[in-house]
């Protein structure tokens, strides 16, 4: 067995720092193991050889009869090094102690030294600053977290496997699961991640039989390549990944020369990466757990056509708004389906979401309408939304909903309040996919439908040519070394033109006044050359000439690519050209992307309305824009460029044209 397999399924555990004091970490872990019924071998390790009932205690790990699968290190930070040094042959070591890299200074030195010894001994280490591991199905509770301070019967297994970089937040998720009558299949708290990191933990957790969905609480990603592979592998196994960013992290980033680089802050990059992988992202840990629970308990969908049935007009509107934000498509019912629904409604409307109207005609009517949708052949999943209703109807409603034998899955949003709390509990005990939080329901529905049509882009071929050969629409123009050459170029192109200063060290000409646009005659060309040259020299640049281009005004878009230090090649698209940083309207994704994924990126832009012909402006060709984004992404993935930026790409009413671009071979 590998070190991680021995970590998650240990046949033996050595407790370093075990004492007779039940309040200390070692005593708490021993009590938790006994509470959950762990059946493997447990030893204590303490030079003082305290008497602990039922446990053999030795002075050193080397005094054990055989190397343990798991070493639980319940000693202060400065004593951890000695534990690692004596862990020869053990499978894994979990370190609870804080006081390492998270404290800076001496803590960083302690962490570096510990990391060196872990490599030398060949043991796998979880932590330091870890909340440990909990896996109820095998009685494993190598953790001191307070979520375990409850009766054993409330520490149950469930379908969700948790990987968290915050032990305390993980404890909170365990409490949520217990409160709703469930539990977690496993939880792994990675802490400071000097060895076992987020991606590797996700890989191990996703392979456990009892795990149906992986929930990741993410502060930062340190193992980008492994993380990407692990998430993709989990989804390929039919085990979705749900994430909540509990912090954007702060990793070192070299100074970027492009606007794209300046906007590639860790949080925004991670958001784009998760979206590219097909991960459903929630805004809070609690919501993330609700989404993961629902996705774990729902059947696999055959398509992405979703319907919503409720009996509250206000809730129908609210859910439609949430669906739009989650990019969830809600196709309207056909005329034939509407005619079958109309007799079942009371002043309602046969739309999607469907509002059944006022007081409905009996406790079974709601389930009947849900069943009509589910059997229509027009939808792949139905969200049944129970809002406030006569309390005496709840039991029959739940019975009818659970009895449905429809052709497509039904998931439940129970918004009936405390008058129907017993019915909600009945749904949960029956293992139904149910939540009482609207946003979680819509995110789960969006996640399920997205996975139904999800395809990986591993086979997308990169473009392995120079930038000029990528097939991009570049503005007509050329470089001139003299004023006469520039005027000749302008005459040939036709006025008006653009005059740009050329200087090897000048990445952003606009910022130093190095561009003049709408230049309308030869005399103005001469004036423009003098002005941009003087501006560049004043900024300390060595001028090499000017570039004269055809003037193409219009709607400005920025397309950028860069090699991220953690995740590798990325592509981005934003509205605003040189003003994109100010507008803060940009979307990132892993490169390369196909035209479908590029279109999805464009749809996520807040300024998408500008492309649709805002206030009478000509409607832009979004399909062609997606093709260009895909081309740049494939070029970025197939080149040695560290950064690429087309800024701006302009829609002039007739077509797209790149009027300025920047290529960086290596990050300065």
pLDDT of residue 349: 78
pLDDT of residue 350: 87
89 in the same domain as 225: yes
Q: Dihedral of the CA atoms 105, 107, 113, 119 (nearest 10)?
A: -120
Taking Cα atoms as reference points, which of 217, 221, 184 lies closest to residue 200?
Answer: 221
89 in the same domain as 152: yes
569 in the same domain as 546: no
User: In the 3-class helix/strand/coil scheme, how is 350-386 assigned residue by residue?
Assistant: CCCCEEEECCCCCCCHHHHHHHHHHCCCCCCEEEEEE
Taking Cα atoms as reference points, which of 29, 240, 208 lies closest to residue 133?
Answer: 29
Query: For 392-402, what is the mean pLDDT?
Result: 92
Using the 8-state DSSP alphabet, how is residue 212 labeled? Answer: S
132 in the same domain as 102: yes
Task: Please report, for the domain that includes residue 515, its CATH number.
Answer: 3.30.1490.20
313 in the same domain as 202: no
454 or 239: which carries more pLDDT confidence? Answer: 239
Please state the separation of Cα 116 from the chain's center in Å.
32
399 in the same domain as 532: no
- Around Cβ 341, how many Cβ atoms within 10 Å? 21
Give me the DSSP letters along 4-39.
HHHHHS-SEEEEET--S-TTSHHHHHHHHHHHHT--
Question: Does residue 233 fall inside a structural domain?
Answer: yes
434 in the same domain as 416: yes
Question: Does residue 572 fall inside a structural domain?
Answer: yes
Please state the separation of Cα 442 from the chain's center in Å.
16
pLDDT of residue 505: 74
Task: Please report, for the domain that includes residue 603, its CATH number.
Answer: 3.30.470.20
582 or 601: which carries more pLDDT confidence? Answer: 601
Taking Cα atoms as reference points, which of 487, 482, 481, 496 lies closest to residue 550?
Answer: 496
pLDDT of residue 442: 98
Question: Does residue 467 fall inside a structural domain?
Answer: no
Cα 622 to Cα 626: distance, rounded to the nearest angstrom: 6
Q: What percent of the chain has pLDDT over 90?
A: 78
Cα 102 to Cα 110: distance, rounded to the nearest angstrom: 11
96 in the same domain as 208: yes
pLDDT of residue 359: 57
Residue range 40-91, pLDDT digits in tens? 999 999 999 999 999 999 999 999 999 999 999 999 999 999 999 999 999 9
pLDDT of residue 328: 94
Q: What percent of the chain has pLDDT over 70?
A: 95
Q: Residue 421: CB partners within 8 Å, gap ≥ 6?
A: none
Residue range 8-24, pLDDT digits in tens? 999 999 999 998 898 89
Give me the DSSP letters along 382-448.
EEEEEES--GGGHHHHHHHHHH---SS-EEEEEE--GGGHHHHHHHHHTT--EES-HHHHHHHHHHH
pLDDT of residue 258: 64
pLDDT of residue 583: 78
Cα 501 to Cα 508: distance, rounded to the nearest angstrom: 10
Q: Residue 530: CB partners within 8 Å, gap ≥ 6?
A: none
Q: Which of 220, 249, 278 is a domain's end point? A: 249
Whether pLDDT at 266 is above 60: yes
Counting beta carbons within 10 angstroms of the beta carbon of residue 663, is it exposed (0 to 12), middle (13 to 18) or buried (19 or more)? middle
pLDDT of residue 458: 59
**How confident is residue 577, by pLDDT bands cut at 50, 70 and 90?**
confident
Using the 8-state DSSP alphabet, how is residue 188 labeled? Answer: E
Out of 246-250, 296-300, 459-463, least confident range: 246-250
Out of 292-306, 501-515, 554-568, least confident range: 501-515
Read off the pTM: 0.92
Taking Cα atoms as reference points, which of 277, 266, 216 lies closest to residue 566?
Answer: 266
Peptide bond into 242 cis (omega under 30): no
Taking Cα atoms as reference points, which of 439, 550, 454 lies closest to residue 241?
Answer: 454
**What is the count of structural domains for the chain?**
4
Query: For 377-405, what is the mean pLDDT?
Result: 93
Residue range 473-482, pLDDT digits in tens? 999 999 999 9
pLDDT of residue 389: 87
131 in the same domain as 59: yes
Token pair for residue 468?
């000029």
pLDDT of residue 405: 87
pLDDT of residue 15: 97
568 in the same domain as 491: no
Q: Which of 420, 452, 484 is a domain's end point? A: 452
Residue range 416-449, pLDDT digits in tens? 989 899 999 999 999 999 999 999 999 999 999 9
**How confident is residue 668, by pLDDT bands cut at 50, 70 and 90?**
very low
Out of 32-41, 508-517, 543-552, least confident range: 508-517
Side-chain-side CA neighbours of 314 within 13 Å: the count stands at 3
pLDDT of residue 250: 43
**How confident is residue 257, by pLDDT bands cut at 50, 70 and 90?**
low
Counting beta carbons within 10 angstroms of the beta carbon of residue 210, is it exposed (0 to 12), middle (13 to 18) or buried (19 or more)? middle
Question: Does residue 566 fall inside a structural domain?
Answer: yes
Residue range 95-142, pLDDT digits in tens? 999 999 988 899 999 999 999 999 999 999 999 999 999 999 999 999
129 in the same domain as 58: yes
pLDDT of residue 518: 95
Query: Strands, E, within 61-189: which ranges?
Result: 70-73, 92-95, 124-126, 132-135, 140-142, 160-164, 186-189
Question: Does residue 69 fall inside a structural domain?
Answer: yes
Query: For 329-337, what is the mean pLDDT?
Result: 96
79 in the same domain as 19: yes
Question: Does residue 400 fall inside a structural domain?
Answer: yes
Q: N- to C-terminal Cα distance for the chain?
A: 44
pLDDT of residue 98: 93
Q: Which domain holds residue 587?
A: 555-664
Whether pLDDT at 347 is above 80: no
Q: How much of the chain is in helix, strand and coil states, percent to nearest 5?
A: 40, 20, 40
Task: Please report, for the domain that includes residue 207, its CATH number.
Answer: 3.40.50.720
Residue range 169-214, pLDDT digits in tens? 999 999 999 999 999 999 999 999 999 999 999 999 999 999 999 9
**How confident is residue 240, by pLDDT bands cut at 50, 70 and 90?**
very high
Residue range 598-629, pLDDT digits in tens? 999 999 999 999 999 877 778 999 999 999 99
Residue range 100-111, pLDDT digits in tens? 998 889 999 999
C-alpha Rg value of the chain to the nearest Å: 30
pLDDT of residue 254: 42
Strand-strand pairing, 497-503 and 140-142 = unpaired
Cα 621 to Cα 611: distance, rounded to the nearest angstrom: 8
Task: Please report, for the domain that includes residue 436, its CATH number.
Answer: 3.40.50.261
Q: Are 436 and 415 in contact (CB under 8 A)?
A: yes
Query: For 559-571, what is the mean pLDDT?
Result: 94
Question: Does residue 255 fall inside a structural domain?
Answer: no
Question: Does residue 394 fall inside a structural domain?
Answer: yes
């Amino acid at each position: 067995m590998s070190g991680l397999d021995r970590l998650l399924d240990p046949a033996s555990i050595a407790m370093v720092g075990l004492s007779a004091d039940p309040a200390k970490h070692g005593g708490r872990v021993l009590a938790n193991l006994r509470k959950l019924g762990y059946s493997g071998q447990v030893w204590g390790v303490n030079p003082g050889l305290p008497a602990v009932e039922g446990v053999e205690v030795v002075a050193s790990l080397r005094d054990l009869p055989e190397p343990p699968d798991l070493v639980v290190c319940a000693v202060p930070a400065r004593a951890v090094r000695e534990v690692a040094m004596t862990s020869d042959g053990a499978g894994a070591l979990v370190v609870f102690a804080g006081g390492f890299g998270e404290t800076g200074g001496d803590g960083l030195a302690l962490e570096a030294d510990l990391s060196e010894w872990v490599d030398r001994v060949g043991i796998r280490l979880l932590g330091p600053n870890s909340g440990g591991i909990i896996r109820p199905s095998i009685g494993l509770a190598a953790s001191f977290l307070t979520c375990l301070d409850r009766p054993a019967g409330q520490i149950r297994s469930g379908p969700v496997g948790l990987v968290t970089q915050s032990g305390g937040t993980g404890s909170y998720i365990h409490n949520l699961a217990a409160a709703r009558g469930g539990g977690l299949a496993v939880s792994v708290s990675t802490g400071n991640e000097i060895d076992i990191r987020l991606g590797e933990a996700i890989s191990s957790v996703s392979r456990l039989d009892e795990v149906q969905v992986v929930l990741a609480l993410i502060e930062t990603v340190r193992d980008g390549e492994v993380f990407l592979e692990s998430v993709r592998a989990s989804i390929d196994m039919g085990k979705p990944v749900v994430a909540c960013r509990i912090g954007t992290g702060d990793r070192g980033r070299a100074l970027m020369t492009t606007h794209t680089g300046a906007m590639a802050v860790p949080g925004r990059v991670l958001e784009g990466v998760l979206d590219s992988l097909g991960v459903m992202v929630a805004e809070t840990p609690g919501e993330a757990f609700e989404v993961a629970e629902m996705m774990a308990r729902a059947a696999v969908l055959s398509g992405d056509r979703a319907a919503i049935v409720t009996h509250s007009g206000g809730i129908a509107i609210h859910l439609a708004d949430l669906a739009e934000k989650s990019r969830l498509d809600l196709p309207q019912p056909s005329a034939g389906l509407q005619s079958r629904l109309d007799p079942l409604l009371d002043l309602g409307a046969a739309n999607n979401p469907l509002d059944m109207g006022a007081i409905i005609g009996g406790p079974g009517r709601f389930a009947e309408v849900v069943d009509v949708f589910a059997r229509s052949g027009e939808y792949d999943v139905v969200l049944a939304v129970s809002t406030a209703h006569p309390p005496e109807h709840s039991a029959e409603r739940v019975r009818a909903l659970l009895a449905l034998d429809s052709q497509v899955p039904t998931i439940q949003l129970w918004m009936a309040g405390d008058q129907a709390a017993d019915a909600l509990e009945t749904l949960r005990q029956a293992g139904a996919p149910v939540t009482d939080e609207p946003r979680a329901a819509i995110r789960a529905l969006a996640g399920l439908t997205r996975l139904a049509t999800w395809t990986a882009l591993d086979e997308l071929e990169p473009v392995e040519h120079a930038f000029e050969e990528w097939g991009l629409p570049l503005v007509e123009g050329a470089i001139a070394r003299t004023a006469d050459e520039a005027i000749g170029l302008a005459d040939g192109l036709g006025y008006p033109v653009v005059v740009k200063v050329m200087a090897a060290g000048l990445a952003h000409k606009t910022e130093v006044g190095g561009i003049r646009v709408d230049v309308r005659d030869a005399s103005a060309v001469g004036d423009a050359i003098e002005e941009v040259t003087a501006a560049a020299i004043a900024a300390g640049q060595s001028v090499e000439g000017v570039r004269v281009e055809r003037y193409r005004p219009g709607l400005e878009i920025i397309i950028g690519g860069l090699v991220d230090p953690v995740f590798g090649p990325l592509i981005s698209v934003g509205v605003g050209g040189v003003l994109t940083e100010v507008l803060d309207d940009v979307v990132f994704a892993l490169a390369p992307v196909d035209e479908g994924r590029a279109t999805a990126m464009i749809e996520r832009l807040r300024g998408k309305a500008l492309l649709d012909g805002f206030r009478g402006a000509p409607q832009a060709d979004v399909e062609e824009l997606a093709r260009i984004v895909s081309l740049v992404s494939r070029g970025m993935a197939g080149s040695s460029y560290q950064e690429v930026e087309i800024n701006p790409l302009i829609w002039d009413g007739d077509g797209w044209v790149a009027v300025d671009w920047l290529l960086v071979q290596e990050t300065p």
